[in-house]
Structure 1
């Protein structure tokens, strides 16, 4: 996923991806502001000529659309607020770093505002005011926000549809992110129960084919939350679960096994020879999907029984487990899930 800020800022800059293009120029401006502010804060208080030119151009474009200059200052202030809330410097034990970060961010805001003003007044032909600092920002008083973190697998649905549904239920602060694995939704949620309810409503509107994993995390653990819901999705996909909303509790055994290195290594070693063979992998997956019912698994694969039994015997030889034994099937199921988590 694309991020604007280097890791040294200590913040999860992917939260900025919540500013989606709507065609009115506002979100584009805020993304440029975010990138410029982080560039100044992360460096030595300087920014590149290219960044300064882009900010200047945003000021020109803003004036060309007939928007008021005051709205530019509000956009800078709101973006700095967004960065402060999303940063890791609001947590306990970071008071000194927080003060330094706050000062650098305020300086960056003033620099960005000046360049926006120059662009704005260059277009209008009027002279810019001598100085246009960002109004002093009072010390924020808030409880650190928490988020419903969701991973979505929605085949065939464009991201704009997902954004519309997600923001329709989660509000304008909802962020929709894209990665090679799929889509993510981050939206403020006060409690875990609220996250699950929100995920259910989003799933209902996205349609019957969607699979969605949800977990609730404090704002400074959002990245960990994304990794967790990715793992849930990996298990759901590997075990052939149907469409629906899934939580950690739905894959708790498999997830716990993956977090224990010795157990994870043993399980993956057991099942890897099967997973490396496409035919045997499909056979085992069908048995797991059929919850051990070999007749149903044979039907799912549309195979003659003699061919199916031959494959099944090979799976049992390689793993040392009987697929028709409930305990062995649970071990194999867990092994397949752990391998999926370790692989993705």
Structure 2
């Protein structure tokens, strides 16, 4: 059973309810020292871990293939080692995205106060995107990282840019004054009162969602004709694109899952160093509503697997990412030609 009297458990159960919260805590490995933190003041590390547990729980609610895998792990008495979550954002050449700060800035204002530092930049030029890894300063190996990417609208043509403005210009900011004040407290003090943290957790978690109105299907198709990633953001927003289980041998796991008929990608992604290996389930299909109450089946989020070896230069686990790996994994949400060519109802 997960310890349920510490700060992380109190935050998670406050957000999800007792039954779901304890279930979420028993799904993800949490560092014992973080789990044991008690008192009426929450450290930034404990709040970050609680937020990640809630976000992982939400990802499983949207990804049946990931849920089935995790249920199998739990049935054997195991837990997932949550390695990282991935987000996609939009950046225009100038200015914000509606009421949201531009691109990754909408999330660095959350991550930096909670103790995350940028670890590396990964140019995703083929996708006309930039990825950045954010790693927790206090406990980098045990608190999940974020792979935060932004799509550069100005690298596309004028027609694409116009459609992107139509879709994203009305984005709302989910962070209220209390949430922003809490983040400011974490930034200056590294901790905050539990009551304030619990009261604002929901608003902060809500940032990891779609913030813009329902897109027109015609605009979705236009974005899709140039960028699968832009089209994905149009329907899914800033939700977790994927969450990742860190496993000992991802190649062996992929072979087993494939033999079981699971929707695993064909190719294993291997970093230039050879120390980071990744694969993933293909994105689950989801039904999404477009403007005018039009329903279409589109790619949703997915579940990923990663193995990390020890970096001989440091003697520690290699927490890096890889541009080639990331580009290959992003293809898991590629939409079918049938969606791109389907007629408007």
- Give the number of the structure whose residues are more often helix, by fraction: 1
- Structures share fold, TM-score greater than 0.5: no
- Give the number of the structure whose residues are more often strand, by fraction: 2
Pair member with larger Rg: 1
Q: Which has the higher contact order (CA 8 A, sep 6+)?
A: 2
- Shorter chain as denominator, the TM-score bin is under 0.3
- Normalising by structure 1, we get a TM-score of 0.23
